[in-house]
Amino acid sequence: MSELTATHFLTLSAALFIIGMLGVLIRRNVLVIFMCIELMFNAVNVSFIGFAWEQHSLVGQTFALFIIAVAAAEAVVGLGIIMALSRRLDTVDIDQVHELRE
Amino acid sequence: MANWIFLIPLAPLIAAVVNFIFGRWYLRDRAHWLAILGVAISFGVSVAVVAQVARDEVALSQHLYTWIPAGDFQVPVTLTVDQLTAVMLLVVTGVSLLVHIYSVGYMHGDPGFYRFFAYLPLFVFSMLMLVLANNYLLLFVFWEAVGLCSYLLIGFWYRRRSAAQAAKKAFVVNRVGDFGFGLGVMLIFVHLGTLEYTGVFAQVGALPQGTITAIALLLFTGAIGKSAQIPLFVWLPDAMEGPTPVSALIHAATMVTAGIFMVARSWPIFAASPDAMLVVAIIGAATAFVAATIGLTQYDIKKVVAYSTVSQLGYMAFALGSGAWVAAIFHLTTHAFFKALLFLGAGSVIHAMHDEQDMRRMGGLKRHLPLTYWTFLIGSAANAGIFPLAGFWSKDEVIVGAWVGGRPIVAIVGLVAALFTSLYMFRVVFLTFHGPERFDAHTVHPHESPPVMAVPLLILSVGAVFAGFLGVPPERGVFHRFLEPVFSGHGAEVHHVSTATTLTFGLISTAVALAGLGLAYAAYVRGAIKPAVVAARLGPLYQLAYRRWYFDEIYEALIVHPLYRLSVWLWRVVDIGIIDGAVNGVAGLVNFTAQRWRRVQTGLVANYALAIALGTVIIVGVYLIVGSTLFQ
Amino acid sequence: MSAEVLVFDILGAIAVLAAAGVVLARNPVHSALALVVSFVNVAAIYVILRAEFLAAAQIIVYTGAILVLVLFVIMLVDPDNLPEFHGGRPVQRLLALILGLALLGEVMAAILTRTIVGQPGPWSPQAVAAVGGNTQALGRVLYSGYVLPIQVTAVLLLAATIGALVLARPDTPRVRALVRDTATISLAHPRGSEMANGVEPALPALAAGQLKLEAGERTLVMAKSGDDFLDQPVWGERHQS
Amino acid sequence: MPVELVRPEWGLIVPELILLGTIALVLAGDLALPRRQHGVLTWVALAGLALSLLSNLTIDWAAGRSTFNGMFQADYFSLFINLVVGVAGILSVMIASAYVPGGDEPGDMPLPEYLALLLLSILGTMLVGAAGDLLMIFLGIEMGSIAVYALTGFARRRVTALEGALKYFLLGAFATAILIYGMAWTYGATGTTALADIAVRLRPVVTGSGGVEPSLLLALLLLAVGLGFKIAAVPFHMWTPDAYQGAPTPVSAYMSVVPKVAGFAAMARVLVEALGPLSDSWLTLIAVLALVTMVYGNVVAIAQRDVKRMLGYSSIGHTGYILVGLAAFSGLSPDDRSVGSMLFYLLSYAFMNIGAFGVVTWLQTRGLGVTLDDFRGLATRSPLAAIAMTIFMLSLMGMPPLVGFYAKYYVILAAVQADLIWLAVAVVLMSAVSAFFYLRVVAVMYFNEPSGEWKVQPTPLLGTGLALMALGTLMLGLLSGPVLDLAQKWVQAFGVA
């Protein structure tokens, strides 16, 4: 481990991705779940940029740039849904949202 | 012109679809414009196409697309116009156009106006596709489609119980025939591996005699149903429950002739089987005779014309069975004119009499409805075979065809039936238009039909007068020279008819027709013969004819009733007891599983996400262990 | 161990710890702050990876825009709901943990056994330096090969904007009333007393002839409670007989 | 390092440009027209979609050209996707026409925004169909999804609509994260994101070896999971019934078809075109997913009484059938029937499924609900609607000669050719199971007495749409020959090359 290799970045990325996933699975606050999804997107970016760095290509960086843009777009719509729902239900607890089932 | 053939069926189809979709809300009582336009386009293109066929003496065809492309079994959808199709095209589109125009007046104010003008072009489309088809499968599909349209139109006034019953009856009886037809088509495919006409006709001679006969008879079963031959003719008189223009178009001029057309189209198959030909001739002759006797005894004006149609279809059938192909198609063509005319005329009478159909409550209408009278008289005379109207030439040719085709008995039966034909036709004329007025003049004020109904009557009566001259001189007329290429080859026999024979039969027919006219005049105008006395004298024979040879009663007793009993029994014992038990068992099991599995769907996002994650981890894990280089 | 690796290890460790903080913090505001820390560290790691432009974008878009948005939403929704709801779902947590570890194992297996396929790309550090740096190089790539994706992204942002507008715009009453004439009705009937018995309060009615209505018009009675003035008006409708 | 600046061929993206122009027009109309004239925009949207559909004729698809540096491919595949999506879009707009303005949904649904979002989602799906790069697939899918998230929650006064939207959004974003993680690994393993290049670089890696490198497998499987979510394959399906039930019915109609088309288009582009060399690895996965999906969807649908929810599960079942087509993939060659059968199924599915939801909409505009009980005695109230629903149900069941039968038939044919007899048998068995819940609707319509209030309301455009779909369901089977030919053309192009 004397030199910096892609393995470092990929490990970091995997760790971030899985922490984000755990957050989605465990947390009950919709906003926190939303933040965890952003965390997962970010982890993917780390992978992309790590691969780009390793392969001397800019494709990965470009891809990451677009992911950031898309994440912003998703954030806008997602927060819109969350706000509208919290207005009706007066809660952001995901476990309270289960009228549709079976 | 070949590239424009597709327009012939397409124009009425578009009219039907548009009327169906927009009719109820937007078009309503304007629906007829589109329908008439569609059929007119179809007629125009047909004329152009037929002109080219006549000029170049070739069959035109246009390949549209391949319907079922699965492996060896390919069904191309190709529209073909040869001389036979050309004749049918002109008959179908021409009569349709006139009937459409007539209907504008007849159906005026009906709440189902738009529906009528959606069904009618739909029928025209189906009928055109039927005659344009180049293979048996397509023919069969549209054979069913015209049946469906007929069913819809017979039951057009579906709130009337009798109309709904008649529609059902037509449907069921036709189903019997269609079943046989379907079997025949399957048999062709099994033995020859193709359904295209050219391929089938080229190979059919190589089949064993028994197979050919079986195929021919099965195909003819379809014709028996559709063209109302004995023993399946019972639906056609009942079909008169539909609006009169429908009777004229579908149940006289076009659809019922589909069976005749189909047999003529398949002539190489029939020609290869003398036994089948004999059956066709016998059934045809019997139909012609039986229906004519029934026609003598009926009092409903439309029913008489309907039995006359059945009888005339019998003539066409025995012409086919005698190998007189051209004569059959010739009679089909002239019949389309005068029978459509008779129905539309009858419709005009019924219209004028405020929906009265019983001739015993008519009489003396000549004064009130001069135009209807004269056109109806022309139609009747043509149907009766009075020289030189259309029916004379074609009927004469049919009878001569049977005689020289080696079926003298059939020809004689035909002559006897011709006597009856003349008698019942003029009976209708005299009962309806002559004699005293037997209706209540205070409540019924007969009035002549509007021009939109009168014009089609005039055009058709011109056809009824002159159409016969297409076949003059007999055997060498324009009509024959045009059609001959179709019915040659495949070992066709050509009968030469001597001028003496032609002349003899011409004279006999004329004598017979005039005899019928005279009898009718004596009985219904002069009163020299009392019909009631004759009926009483004949006793059981009269009853037989009046009760329509008891066909309906026999079916009721032998088929309908036992079937009903059987179905009730099946329902009680087999369905409830056995099948339901088994099905309920399986259903119960599946339902139990369903109820269990639905619980998985908890409605909680966390659980859903967990399922996704679990799926991912398991799939990736399994693959890494089994499919990767990791542990190798 | 080179200095680069050391720096990476420190930044990476902080990023992971902060990410864990997002998941573990009870207060969503704390989660959001932890997320900021994680994102900033990741941005720093981008610099190590010679992706300076993305580092900037990361800070501006994520930390700047998205997180501020999240914080706004946190402030907008009812503050009482902010603390995490505790308890429950122990099975879910356990399963999630097992799944997380399993997935980590699987991804690590892939990371550690991977071999590099193909030739290195054209953008070596020298090549990037030759065109003037990461931003310039990225610009060249973006505006030559990525013209279509850029346009598509623009449309995508439009979709998101419309979507958010539709979802989050305030409620408007469905029937727009055209106030033609107004009349004042005495609210002598105190509202509270009937409510106490669970009976719906009766809306006061207009006196006969007080207001002239034309065909198709209805009276809309806007009433305020007689004794205590609520913030929101009480809406009611009475059909003209 | 010099970069090639290639002049893009704008002619190839004409259908997309027309759609974009229509969106702009609709948005401009929103601002320019007074609210009560917004109904005109329905016609604008219909005209735009029709024009976009027609403009496909201007492009030479046989050449299979690509433009924008390979980002965009104009080949027979993208043509067929354009066709499916254009037809589905027109039908969806027609259905929405009776519902959105006014409607019975609590909440004022602004028509222009509705149409704009619908068209944006359609545009995204068309881009997926034409994608030549993983990035374009990602962007296209996201454009479609984001618009549909918003559409799901469109009736935002109703809690269930928002609940459906929230579930769809959270899980959708979660799945997107997995999908792009897969894209990252694909990029890492092959050094490129262009679909064609991926296939080229994979070929030497795969041939000959007994197994596949874990990193490649991870890439493949993460992609499969991410796309499996979009098409609602079990076990990534759970959002489907909730979202369908919660969304306004016209949206359910739309989202049961077009986003699914996007998912399948992406699957074909990614798995077949890019990861085709890895097909030995993914074929089994797809086959197993297909089996599990169709069994689960069809069985659970039996237990439903809410018709929208029932159709949601039934659509999961149909995902299973379509996956059978994909599982029969045998390599990009003219003999391969898998992609063709899949595309044909998608087109026929658009007609019958949007139609079924359309009848539910029809009931709702007449003041009824969405449960089985609301269908009681429909045959006496509105015989035409009952006939239409019967046609759709029988077609979904796979009754000849309706189009659903042909769709299943071609899928089964593909499966049998690929020696997947067990899968073909499963399709037949599950069709039989599906008869339970499809026929129940038919039985309720014809054999029960009507209940509930019925208010007569003219909805000409909805009625026309239903008639068109019923006609399509009837006729597409008869026209299956040429349509299937068109669907086959994409793989045939590879045989020539």
- Tens of pLDDT along B471-515? 877 777 788 888 888 887 665 666 677 788 888 888 888 898 899
Q: What is the pLDDT of residue C14?
A: 95
Q: Do B629 and D235 touch (CB under 8 A)?
A: no
Q: What is the pLDDT of residue C190?
A: 45
Q: Do C117 and D189 touch (CB under 8 A)?
A: yes
Q: What is the pLDDT of residue A47?
A: 95
Q: What is the pLDDT of residue C175?
A: 47
Asked if D184 is an interface residue toward chain B (Cβ–Cβ < 8 A), one would say no
Q: Do D135 and A89 touch (CB under 8 A)?
A: no
Asked if B612 is an interface residue toward chain A (Cβ–Cβ < 8 A), one would say no
What 3-state DSSP class applies to B501? helix
In-domain check, residue D1: no
| pLDDT-wise least confident of C24-38, C47-61, C77-91 | C77-91
For chain A, what is the mean pLDDT? 88
Asked if C101 is an interface residue toward chain B (Cβ–Cβ < 8 A), one would say no
Question: At D291, which amino acid appears?
Answer: L
Percent of the residues in chain D that have a pLDDT greater than 90, as a whole number: 51
| pLDDT-wise least confident of B250-264, C40-54, D3-17, D288-302 | D3-17
Q: What is the pLDDT of residue A2?
A: 63
Beta carbons of A75 and C35 less than 8 angstroms apart: no
**Rounded-to-integer distance, Cα C170 and Cα B383, Å:** 81
Of the ranges B577-586, C176-185, D478-487, which is most confident?
D478-487
Q: Do D302 and B594 touch (CB under 8 A)?
A: yes
Kindly report, residue by residue over B197-234, the tens digit of the pLDDT: 888 888 888 888 888 999 999 999 999 988 888 888 88
Residue B456's nearest CA partner among B17, B47, B95 is: B95
Q: What is the pLDDT of residue B542?
A: 79
Chains contacting A (3 or more CB pairs within 8 Å): B, C, D
Average pLDDT over residues B137-153: 86
D180 → closest Cβ in A21, A44, A98: A44
Q: Do C15 and A95 touch (CB under 8 A)?
A: no
B614 interaction partners in chain C (CB closer than 8 Å): 95, 99
Chains contacting D (3 or more CB pairs within 8 Å): A, B, C
Q: Do A95 and B598 touch (CB under 8 A)?
A: no
In-domain check, residue A7: no
In-domain check, residue D3: no
Q: Could you tell me the residue ranges of all domains in chain C?
A: 3-122, 123-170, 174-241
Q: Do A94 and B609 touch (CB under 8 A)?
A: no
Beta carbons of B130 and B146 less than 8 angstroms apart: yes
Provide the pLDDT confidence category of residue B348 given band limits of 50, 70 and 90.
confident
**Rounded-to-integer distance, Cα B370 and Cα B412, Å:** 37
Q: Which residue of D has its CA nearest to B607?
A: D238
Asked if C241 is an interface residue toward chain B (Cβ–Cβ < 8 A), one would say no
Between B42 and B474, the more confident residue is B42
Q: Which residue of D has its CA nearest to B20?
A: D467
Q: What is the pLDDT of residue B552?
A: 80
Q: Do C159 and D127 touch (CB under 8 A)?
A: no
Kindly report, residue by residue over B553-562, the tens digit of the pLDDT: 888 778 778 8
Q: Which residues in chain A (19-78) have CB-CB distances under 8 A to chain D?
A: 20-21, 24, 30, 33-34, 37, 40-41, 43-44, 47-48, 50-51, 54-55, 57, 59-60, 62-63, 66-67, 70, 73-74, 77-78
Chains contacting C (3 or more CB pairs within 8 Å): A, B, D
Q: Which residue of B has its CA nearest to A33?
A: B606
Q: What is the pLDDT of residue A93?
A: 75
Average pLDDT over residues B113-142: 89
A55 interaction partners in chain C (CB closer than 8 Å): 116, 118, 120-121
Percent of the residues in chain B that have a pLDDT greater than 90, as a whole number: 16
**Rounded-to-integer distance, Cα B611 and Cα B619, Å:** 12
In-domain check, residue A11: no
Residue A62 pLDDT greater than 90, yes or no: yes
B624 interaction partners in chain C (CB closer than 8 Å): 106, 109-110
Q: What is the pLDDT of residue B166?
A: 84
Range(s) of the domain holding residue D232: 10-496
- Choose from A17, A22, A24, A82 for mutation: most chain B CBs within 10 A: A24
Q: Note the Cα D32 to chain centre separation in Å.
A: 33
B68 interaction partners in chain D (CB closer than 8 Å): 480-481
A25 → closest Cβ in B599, B603, B613: B613
Q: What is the pLDDT of residue C117?
A: 65
In-domain check, residue A21: no
C104 → closest Cβ in A14, A57, A71: A14
Range(s) of the domain holding residue A57: 28-94
Q: Residue B184 half-sphere exposure, CB side, CA atoms within 13 Å?
A: 27
Kindly report, residue by residue over D159-191, the tens digit of the pLDDT: 888 889 999 999 999 999 999 999 999 999 888
Q: Which residue of C has its CA nearest to B614?
A: C99
For chain B, what is the mean pLDDT? 84
Q: What is the pLDDT of residue B378?
A: 92
Report the 3 state secondary structure along B549-609: HHHHHHHHHHHHHHHHHHHHHHHHHHHHHHHHHHHHHHHHHHHHHHHHHHCCCCCCHHHHH
Between C76 and D311, the more confident residue is D311
Which long-range contacts link B198-205 to residues 24+ away (Cβ below 8 Å)? B198/B134, B200/B136, B200/B269, B201/B268, B201/B269, B201/B490, B204/B268, B204/B269, B204/B272, B205/B268, B205/B272, B205/B490, B205/B491
ipTM, two decimals: 0.87
- Choose from D215, D223, D255 for mutation: most chain C CBs within 10 A: D215
Kindly report, residue by residue over B22-32, the tens digit of the pLDDT: 777 776 777 78
Between B335 and B475, the more confident residue is B335
Average pLDDT over residues D324-336: 87
B605 interaction partners in chain A (CB closer than 8 Å): 33, 94, 97
A 10 A CB-CB count for A33 gives 26
Residue B3 pLDDT greater than 60, yes or no: yes
Q: Which residue of B has its CA nearest to A25?
A: B606
Q: Do C166 and D123 touch (CB under 8 A)?
A: no
Kindly report, residue by residue over C189-231, the tens digit of the pLDDT: 444 444 455 555 555 566 666 666 666 666 665 554 444 333 3
Provide the pLDDT confidence category of residue D497 given band limits of 50, 70 and 90.
very low
Q: What is the pLDDT of residue A92?
A: 72
Residue D26 pLDDT greater than 90, yes or no: yes
Report the 3 state secondary structure along C116-165: CCCCCCCCCHHHHHHCCCHHHHHHHHHHHHCHHHHHHHHHHHHHHHHHHH
**What is the total count of domains within chain A?**
1
**What is the total count of domains within chain D?**
1
Encoded tokens for B611:
């399922």
CA-based nearest distance C208→chain D, Å: 34
Question: Which CATH number belongs to the domain containing residue A42 in this structure?
Answer: 1.10.287.3510
Asked if B539 is an interface residue toward chain D (Cβ–Cβ < 8 A), one would say no
Kindly report, residue by residue over D83-133, the tens digit of the pLDDT: 999 999 999 999 887 765 444 443 456 888 899 999 999 999 999 999 999
For chain D, what is the mean pLDDT? 88
C172 → closest Cβ in D108, D143, D205: D108
Q: What is the pLDDT of residue C193?
A: 45
Q: Which residues in chain A (64-93) have CB-CB distances under 8 A to chain C?
A: 64-66, 68-77, 79-84, 86, 90-93
Residue D392 pLDDT greater than 90, yes or no: yes
Burial of D33 (0-12, 13-18, 19+ CB in 10 A): middle
* Alpha-carbon distances, residue B607 vs B72, B237, D161 (angstroms): 51, 69, 20
Average pLDDT over residues D6-33: 91
CATH code, C3-122: 1.20.120.1200
**Rounded-to-integer distance, Cα B316 and Cα B333, Å:** 10
Provide the pLDDT confidence category of residue C183 given band limits of 50, 70 and 90.
low
Q: Do C73 and A2 touch (CB under 8 A)?
A: no
Q: What is the pLDDT of residue D210?
A: 63
**Rounded-to-integer distance, Cα D15 and Cα D20, Å:** 9
Provide the pLDDT confidence category of residue B2 given band limits of 50, 70 and 90.
confident
